Structure 1
Amino acid sequence: MVQTVSTPAVIVDLDIAERNIRSMAEEARKAGIRHRPHIKSHKSVYFARKQLEAGSTGITCAKLGEAEVMAEAGIDDILIAFPIIGEDKQERLYQLAQKVKVTTVADSVEGATAVSEVGERLGRRIPLYIEVDGGIGRCGRQPGEDTLQFARRIQSLPGIEITGLLSYAGQIYGEESREEIRSTARQEAATLKNTADLLREAGIDIPVVSGGSSLSSKFAGELEGVTEIRAGNYIFHDVGQLSMGMITVDDCALRVITTVVSVPAPGRAIIDAGSKTLTTDTMPFSKGFGYIVEHPDIEIFKLNEEHGFLSYDPASVSLHIGQHLTIIPNHACVLPNLCDEIVGFRGGVPVEKIRIDARGKNS
């Protein structure tokens, strides 16, 4: 397989990716929850269409730039899970919302007002989710009374319609066991449900309760009160979930093929994949910058831009110049954004090049 690509190469096993798509779709169906996958993990029209074909009810984008690319490709139900701040963003939202159904989020009066002004220009209300802090301390109103008071402040804005609550409990990736992950997933769902119920009791209809990362969505049947999940990383998986024991190597679709280019000393080697290929993201439960499939005990202990530094026991591992290695990245979501295209394989054979259409669309 590796002889057919020039390294370093980001590849995807299409059979694994499609199996992951089907598996998540089935979990959502069994739980009676809609799945609106986050396309920031792949940024590709090809994979977005695969997810929609499997039953997704729309897609989630991180930024307007991604949404614009997906809309041009004919995808017509898009959630932008990021605040719309700035006149330039308002204009782009106006243009986008004339073409497709767009839902967005807000956690400030300024953000909600910006979306409302766009809705007024359009002559219709734009669906809006209120973002609730899921515990990560990023964006979002505080659960409960703070969210209720915020909803009351913005519900009279003429260009928006509050249609849901949204949260992201990113702290789940720091949990140390399956039971802790399950507990955090349930807590995220309970927090959202309780807040949604509070708003409903106050006469504010909340038809959509949107939560669920790739980890918490593995417990979709236990997310009481959640009506929509937004898993993203699940399509590829990576060392993050592998090191937590939530998946196996055979569930990891995205990989990097790299070549040993130097063996400067016993127990040390250099590969041609550095930070521009693998990223410098680290994971709390694994060492180094990726998992080498052929030799899991080797540590990628350092990255320069184009060089990866390997450390290993020369008594048990022998590497030679020109040898190919397969790396599962620490954080798969970052890699597609570093590539114009990735190579799709089936049965160890390259079958197509997949364009990363929204690469660099980060605004």
Structure 2
Amino acid sequence: MTVEIYLDKKNCWKTKPFILCVLLLCSIFWHTLRHNRLDTNAPLFCNFQRSIIGINNASHLGLLKGVTLHRMLYDTPNIMRPLRIDVLTMTPWFAPIVWNGTYNSDILNAQFHQKDVHVGLTVFAIRKYAVFVQTFIETAEKFFMVGQKVTYYIFTDRINDIPAFTLSDGRKLIVLEVPSYTRWQDVSMRRMEMIRDQSRQRFIREVDYLVCVDVDMRFSDEVGVEILSGIFGTLHPGFYSASREQFTYERRPQSTAYIPTDEGDFYYAGGFFGGTVEEVYRLTNFCHNAMMVDKEKQIEAIWHDESYLNKYFLYEKPTKILSPEYLWDNNFQTPGFLKRKRFVAVPKNHNAIRYRRELMGVSVASGKFHR
């Protein structure tokens, strides 16, 4: 390979940085070409790009912190003695289903502490739902990610209604002002858009994982790092034992949320999902875009954002699933296998809520969960 460079002697000093860059790039290109000369189908540009990335990654690896090993004492796992035999603990795609007794919180906490994980918890306190914030935060301080770094993100149209809180070390609360909507369905569906936008604008810089839940709930037992994964969903407490034909998926083929009766794994609740910021961004971006497509066709999925969430999880399988322990309503009869109720619906004056919604032309015949 021959490289010819013509210089203006008067301005030679100005061109030296440029010349050095050209020579460096040519050297890398020639090195890559030599190593791939036996592969006549090798894409030279891709190999050149890979060389650049390899240099950057090598520099990055040198900056990684060393691992400090700590001694831990716990019972030996026994492969002949499963921790739970009364419930499904693993999906066909090897995603664990989290139940009480299926994990060791001491081991998990030690692992996540070494990674210096920061968790974001999002809730929407729109209109009258601002009244639930105090109970939500106070119980979260007792039971949610105790000992971990946590940022509470409160989306609300009533900033002045959000009380001040004394939080534990390593925890903070951020209030994000958002518009109100006349219809409760719009409030529900716009959550996906707002989480998506904030994931891109700030969450990606501030936290490692996002946990997105309903605000009209209270924590009543431990919810820790055992829930964290690439992307996770939660089994709906009204459908954990139902067949796929009984799931209230969106059944109209015209909707982007459509799921036929011969498909479906589980029915996931819209009130508890999460994962890494990147994966939550992908999920919420899909759901919002799908809603906008349906809106153009004047279609509204049967259970709004929950319907689109279920469509996403059908084809983009969650890497972990939370059992109904993590989302429960005491109006349901408690099954024998449910050992703990970690996150439960707050008792409410349903008549007041029903009256407000009926004024907007919507009849509400059930409580917290729609079935």
Report the TM-score, using the length of structure 1 for normalisation: 0.28
Tell me which of the two structures has the higher relative contact order, counting C-alpha pairs closer than 8 angstroms and 6 or more residues apart: 1
Larger Rg: 2
Report the TM-score, using the length of structure 2 for normalisation: 0.28
